Chains A and B, each alone.
Chain A
């Protein structure tokens, strides 16, 4: 049977993609950010997952406002990155697992999550940056991926409580798959940031640290926030924290924190990294 070996989180902003492409790992601005990743890579090297379920949001590459699903699941053999319009280099495609995708889709719909299924799905920086950070050589390495996209572009966004329950359903779906697979679930995005409006540049360290603490042992305490609360407390794009809550839902009740790192700022954003194992 498939088994969830743990969960990871990371911020996913495009500036990271540019910094990776330009190899700014030792640059004084970027060094404290990249220093957060070797322990994660060491954990991945030890656990060796076969497949990553990546919960992210599309920022206007695959989806436009003509048809914007709240929850969507990739069902392709391969996922391609593409030109996003502002210069982040296009990177190599990612290997999918369509059979496992259809198992997830069947299980999620049976579990009353009426997702959109995508046999073609371009993946943007929300997906590609975390993959590049966690598997710098993913194109030479047999890690398979399933992209799961949650709308954070257009309100109404799904509530934190709904995303947590969606994650629980993802967890049940993964663990009912009858093939031996080690699966890691990744929640991307955040932490606090706001790109738009006169409030641009808003960062809330206190709230981020509270979220990083509570998500380990008391995740349900974070599901009582509304989206409006998250926008107020974490900034307009800090509402991406719902993606972390979906990851956490998938892991089940008890987890153990292996590692965390928090750094301000990268670009306009507070960056948080977590490695969680099932307790």
Chain B
């Protein structure tokens, strides 16, 4: 592989948060909480008392704030993994298009239109 190719292949991809070891360590508490949402009783407990539930899992201040304001990019920066975060999003009534629209700053209609246009 040439040097140029190597540099291209390793350079950061704009708008992309690779979930690597550093993110996995940083995000462990947040992801563990989201993993717990596989169980209905845990989803109910979160909805009943969000603060207490987040405290129980030891979320960092950054993670707690991102969850409090429902900011998906903030959750990713705090080490969240999208597969676990999707469980939180689902619990909040958001699907992956809602989450995509929020992250890209687009309206849901514009985000969906862009997906459809990718097929043209």
**CB within 8 Å of B: which residues of A?**
15, 59-61, 64-65, 82-87, 153-156, 194-201, 203, 205, 226, 228-229, 231-232, 236-237, 263-265, 267-268, 270
Contacts and interface: CB of A to CB of B under 8 A. Distances in A.
> At the interface, is chain A mostly helix, strand, loop or mixed?
loop
9 contacts: A65-B32, A85-B37, A87-B90, A155-B18, A155-B21, A196-B76, A197-B76, A199-B15, A200-B99
Contacts of A263: 119
Interface in B59-81: 72-73, 76, 81
B28 A205 contact: no
A199 B9 contact: no
Interface in B20-79: 20-21, 24, 28, 31-32, 34-35, 37-40, 43, 72-73, 76
B17 to A, nearest CB: 5
Contacts of B38: 60-61, 82-85
B31 A65 contact: yes
Contacts of B31: 64-65
Nearest to A262: B119
B100 A268 contact: yes
A15, A201, A265: most-surrounded residue (chain B CB, <10 A): A201
A59 B84 CA distance: 8
Contact of A196 (B17, B21, B119): B17
> At the interface, is chain B mostly helix, strand, loop or mixed?
helix
A198 B100 CA distance: 8
Given A85-B38, A265-B119, A195 B32 contact: no
Interface string B86-101: 1101110001110110
Contacts of B105: 198
Contact of A155 (B20, B114, B119): B20
Contact of A64 (B32, B100, B116): B32
A199 B20 contact: no
A163 B110 CA distance: 37
B103 A198 contact: yes
B73, B84, B104, B115: most-surrounded residue (chain A CB, <10 A): B115
Contacts of A198: 14-15, 73, 103-105
A155 B20 CA distance: 5
Given A153-B83, A196-B72, A197-B15, 4 more contacts: A59-B86, A64-B35, A231-B13, A237-B82
Contacts of B16: 194, 196-197, 199, 231, 236
Query: Considering the complex of A and B, which 6 residue pairs feature the smallest CB-CB distances, nearest first?
Result: A86-B90, A264-B119, A199-B15, A198-B15, A85-B87, A203-B118
B115 A153 contact: no
A264 B118 contact: yes
Contacts of B97: 267-268
Nearest to B43: A85
A64 B36 CA distance: 10
Contacts of B35: 60, 64
Contacts of A264: 115-116, 118-119
Contacts of A86: 86-87, 89-91
A173 to B, nearest CB: 29
Contacts of A60: 34-35, 38, 81, 83-84, 87
A198 B37 CA distance: 25
Contacts of A83: 38-40
Contacts of A199: 13-16
